Amino acid sequence: MPGKRNARSRVRGSWAARLTGVGFAILLAVVGAAVYLVVGGAHADNSASVLPTRVLGTQAIGLVASPAATGASGPAAETLVAARPGLRFSAAAQAVTDWTADQMAGGTYIFIYIPDGLCLGASRPTAVSLQRCNLQAGQRWIRQRPVVGASGLDYWQLRNLANGRCLSAAGGAGQAGPAARLERCQASPGARQLVAFLTTS
């Protein structure tokens, strides 16, 4: 009968629509799960990369660059000091311990300038400055490639955790001493990229 044929075709058509709807719902679910995994994974990575804030030890130091790091002769040791403009390695302040080195859990260091309580940090790809302390990667430093100097003092490259560049005594020396900069870390660092922790003890 014609009525029965129409009912059958309606049933067939409704099944096709249902299957299409179910397929579309499954596709949406798969896309949603993929987005969740990507976004959720990125969020997990961010939370996992939070830097430790526990201080393992603190000491008063001078941050010193010296030709003696490589056994060369030359000017006396130069200590990192605040100067105008910026930060400089000054021979006049070679005996000053104006910094605290805070060794953090995880192996990084934070350097605090005692006269004003500000932290040594990367401010641009090649610039360093004194900043309000925030414990972020731009103010974290890693000691690497140790060298024993002619005087028996241990020197290290200090690599910034945020941009991977090393603290260097560079630029024109002038009367105030060479400017402190961030430069690409050398595989075999010269004296201007080797820094010692000078202590009074």
Q: Could you read off the pLDDT of 2-43 as tens digits, one per residue?
A: 555 554 445 455 656 665 665 555 555 544 444 333 333 333
83 plus 181 within the same structural domain: yes
Number of structural domains found in the chain: 2
35 plus 61 within the same structural domain: no
73 plus 111 within the same structural domain: yes
74 plus 45 within the same structural domain: no
DSSP H or E stretch at residue 14: helix 2-48
Cis bond upstream, residue 189 (ω within 30): no
Domain ends where: 9, 24, 50? 50
38 plus 133 within the same structural domain: no
Dist CA 50 CA 1 (whole Å): 74
Dist CA 167 CA 174 (whole Å): 19
Task: Please report where in the chains the tokens 């990369």 appear, as a residue.
Answer: 49
77 plus 173 within the same structural domain: yes
Whether the model clears a pTM of 0.75, i.e. scores above it, the answer is no
18 plus 64 within the same structural domain: no
> Do residues 65 and 194 make contact, with C-beta atoms less than 8 angstroms apart?
yes
What are the backbone dihedrals phi and psi of residue 112, each rounded to the nearest 5 degrees, phi first? -110, 130
Report the amino acid identity of residue 31: V
**CATH number of 107's domain:** 2.80.10.50
106 plus 92 within the same structural domain: yes
Domain, as residue range, for 33: 1-50
Express each pLDDT in 59-96 by its tens digit: 999 999 887 777 666 566 788 999 877 899 988 655 57
87 plus 184 within the same structural domain: yes
